[in-house]
Chains A and B, each alone.
Chain A
Amino acid sequence: MALEEHARAGPTEFLRRLLRFVSPRGKVQPLEARDRLWNLVLSLPLIAFLVVFFLLPLAFIVVFAFGGYDSLYQPTGRVHLQYFADVWSEAIRNLFLRTAYVASIVTLLSFVLSYPAAYYIAQLPRERREFFVLLLIIPFWTSFLLRTYALRTIFDSDGLANAILQGTGLSQQPAFDTGNLASVIWAETYTFMPFMALPLYANLEKLSRSMLEASYSLGAGRIRTFLRVVLPLSIPGILAGSLLVFIIAMGELVIPLLVGGVEGQFLMGNAIYERSGQQPGQASALGLLFMVVVLGITFVYVRVVGRGGIRL
């Protein structure tokens, strides 16, 4: 039946037929609203879950930070800034800078170490590429806790690396040790490197071969092509990887506890962790400040890299 024939049946009948077509049960309700309602019904369980067990707890951080509850978890019925005053000390500011410093070095090191690997994989033929990407992803699946623990087994002062060095006579003194800030940096770099390598690879893979060829044929050498063509074109990947690693490294708690010794304890995550038991107010104030910084960085990240950047 042609559309006009339906229309000739009269406006009410036409509407009824149309609705029966788009919604078989023929309930007289516009499709748009019904669709939206059904979407809402489907997503409501998750939204409700996250609101209650994610957003509401985060709201408690704000309430605790402003003194709405005391350290015995009793409501105080007033608001004060004492906890912020407590944590806004020279020592904590230094801690913040130190955490940012560690995270920056980790980001830089992971970039330097994973860029060549990502570049190399991107140049491979397709079948072999998939294999190496799989190799990059597998570490995500082996617990970072265990990999950090494994690192300690190797690089402790009485670990395997020193034993090999001394056994082969390369070094008389133990060359490696854990329990300091440097070991935190290395362990974090090692653990977070895939987070850098994957976005870099995703970006470099899209780099068209013809770009390189154009550059070569216009007389640029390999180094010049790399510096003037490849590197500028991979900036989105670099930004994505860097901010990802930076954010994760800023908040890391377990690696400093495992390999950081005393030095590693003076980082943001650990400072919050230490206060979480006895001083929930101070921990919340610190956490709130920290969260504002991290979300600020993420916001910049999303703005710069675009929403497509945060795909897992």
Chain B
Amino acid sequence: MGIFFVALYTPIAVLTVLSFNAGRAATDWEGFSTRWFESVVSDVRYTGPFWNSITIGILTTLLSVVLGTLAGIAVARRPPGRYAFAWDALILMPLIIPEIIEALSIQLFYKVAGIPNGVLATVIGHTVFSVAFVALIVRARMGDLGKAYEEASMILGANRIQTFVRVLMPLAAPAIIAGAFLAFAASWDDVVKSQFTTSFDSRTLPLVVFAAAAKGRISPLLNALAVIMVVISLSAAFMRTLGERRIGRT
């Protein structure tokens, strides 16, 4: 059991240690140094893709939050039935179908429709799976709350839009935040969809790591880059946990 968790965390721990190694080889420790981090943050080969990843991640999150919150709240209001299952299937399918097939399908679609690869193309591709996280978490949260708040608001004279904006959305906020960070993390880590939808100028950080690693280049520079990426993912995870804590409290 202890071994299970040690094994789960060792690789990332090793990467982190190696990224602070002054030397180049993975097998020799030549002293502590932050030089690889300095090289990464000043190297245009990495900074360009870094900002692409951030831009795509944020746009994906925004789009997912808007679409997922509206739909998540709507479905929570609906009594479970045939439609609920169809909705579940539609939302979950992007997570179940192998990503390579989705990526291939969106490539075919873009080529036929004449949509060029680039930031927007990738944002759309990522939102297809990211939105599921927001919608599912918001639905779960609103389903737990029941219809009492909404009914109270309507009886007190608010109309549907007021009820939605002033009552339902604040209630859903912790779930929206939790979902948003998941959506961002999913976009931030994605390789396959990005591979099929980015142009050279809009390529993301995972693609850079992937290309270098697939060629067999393992370098302390990549280690440092990996550590930066993990730190960003984990910050998102941490924020999400905070969001969940708030769900627990209210």
Could you list which residues of chain A lie within 8 angstroms of chain B, going by C-beta atoms? 21-25, 35, 38-43, 45-47, 49-50, 53-58, 60-61, 64, 69, 73, 113-114, 116-117, 120-121, 132, 134-139, 141-154, 156, 158-160, 163, 190, 193-194, 197, 247, 250-254, 257-258, 269, 272-273, 276, 280, 283-284, 287, 290-291, 294-295, 298, 307, 310-312
Does the CB pair B206–A145 fall under 8 Å? Answer: yes
| A43 and B71 in contact, given A291-B101, A312-B136 (Cβ under 8 angstroms) | yes
Does the CB pair A160–B98 fall under 8 Å? Answer: no
Does the CB pair A53–B234 fall under 8 Å? Answer: no
| A50 and B8 in contact, given A42-B71, A57-B102, A272-B100 (Cβ under 8 angstroms) | no
Interface: B54 (CB within 8 A): no
- Give the most central of A45, A54, A139: most B CB within 10 Å: A54
Does the CB pair A283–B74 fall under 8 Å? Answer: no
Interchain nearest-CB distance for A115 vs B (Å): 10
Does the CB pair A257–B214 fall under 8 Å? Answer: yes
- Give the most central of A138, A148, A156: most B CB within 10 Å: A138
Choose one: A145, A151, A276; the contact of B191 (CB below 8 Å). A145
Chain B at the A interface: SS class: helix
Interface: B40 (CB within 8 A): no
| A47 and B4 in contact, given A73-B111, A250-B98, A287-B101 (Cβ under 8 angstroms) | no
In the assembled complex, the Cα of A42 lies from the Cα of B140 at a distance in Å of: 16
- Count A-B contacts at CB 8 Å: 240
Which B residues touch A258, using CB under 8 A?
210, 213-214
Choose one: B70, B131, B132, B133; the contact of A42 (CB below 8 Å). B70
Choose one: B105, B135, B192, B213; the contact of A152 (CB below 8 Å). B213
| A145 and B75 in contact, given A54-B128, A247-B96 (Cβ under 8 angstroms) | no
Interchain nearest-CB distance for B52 vs A (Å): 16
Does the CB pair B77–A39 fall under 8 Å? Answer: yes
Does the CB pair B70–A153 fall under 8 Å? Answer: no
Interface: B233 (CB within 8 A): yes
| A45 and B93 in contact, given A57-B106, A69-B112, A116-B4 (Cβ under 8 angstroms) | no
Does the CB pair A254–B74 fall under 8 Å? Answer: no
Choose one: B70, B98, B155, B223; the contact of A46 (CB below 8 Å). B70
Question: Can you list 27 residue pairs at the A/B interface with Cβ under 8 Å?
Answer: A23-B154, A24-B158, A25-B159, A38-B74, A43-B70, A43-B87, A45-B66, A46-B71, A53-B106, A57-B109, A58-B102, A141-B237, A146-B12, A146-B229, A146-B230, A153-B11, A153-B26, A154-B10, A190-B11, A258-B210, A280-B107, A283-B104, A284-B104, A291-B98, A295-B96, A295-B97, A311-B140
| Seed contacts A73-B112, A276-B107; 4 additional CB < 8 Å A-B pairs | A145-B209, A150-B14, A154-B11, A254-B210
In the assembled complex, the Cα of A105 lies from the Cα of B209 at a distance in Å of: 28
In the assembled complex, the Cα of A158 lies from the Cα of B24 at a distance in Å of: 13
CB contacts under 8 Å to A, within B1-42, are: 1, 4-5, 7-12, 14-15, 18, 26-27
In the assembled complex, the Cα of A291 lies from the Cα of B102 at a distance in Å of: 10
Chain A at the B interface: SS class: helix
Choose one: A73, A117, A141, A294; the contact of B233 (CB below 8 Å). A141
Does the CB pair B109–A272 fall under 8 Å? Answer: no
Does the CB pair B8–A254 fall under 8 Å? Answer: no
Interface: B92 (CB within 8 A): yes
Q: What does the 1/0 interface line of B156-186 toward A look like (CB < 8 Å)?
A: 0111100010000000000000000000010
Does the CB pair B236–A141 fall under 8 Å? Answer: yes
Which B residues touch A311, using CB under 8 A?
136, 140
Interface: B222 (CB within 8 A): yes
In the assembled complex, the Cα of A258 lies from the Cα of B75 at a distance in Å of: 40
In the assembled complex, the Cα of A267 lies from the Cα of B234 at a distance in Å of: 31
Interchain nearest-CB distance for A205 vs B (Å): 15
Does the CB pair B99–A60 fall under 8 Å? Answer: no
Which A residues touch B128, using CB under 8 A?
49-50, 53-54
Which B residues touch A142, using CB under 8 A?
12, 230, 233-234
Choose one: A152, A194, A251; the contact of B101 (CB below 8 Å). A251
Interchain nearest-CB distance for A227 vs B (Å): 20
In the assembled complex, the Cα of A194 lies from the Cα of B8 at a distance in Å of: 9
Does the CB pair B98–A251 fall under 8 Å? Answer: yes
In the assembled complex, the Cα of A136 lies from the Cα of B4 at a distance in Å of: 10
* 8 nearest A-B residue pairs (beta carbon): A251-B98, A150-B11, A42-B74, A57-B105, A46-B71, A57-B109, A141-B237, A117-B4
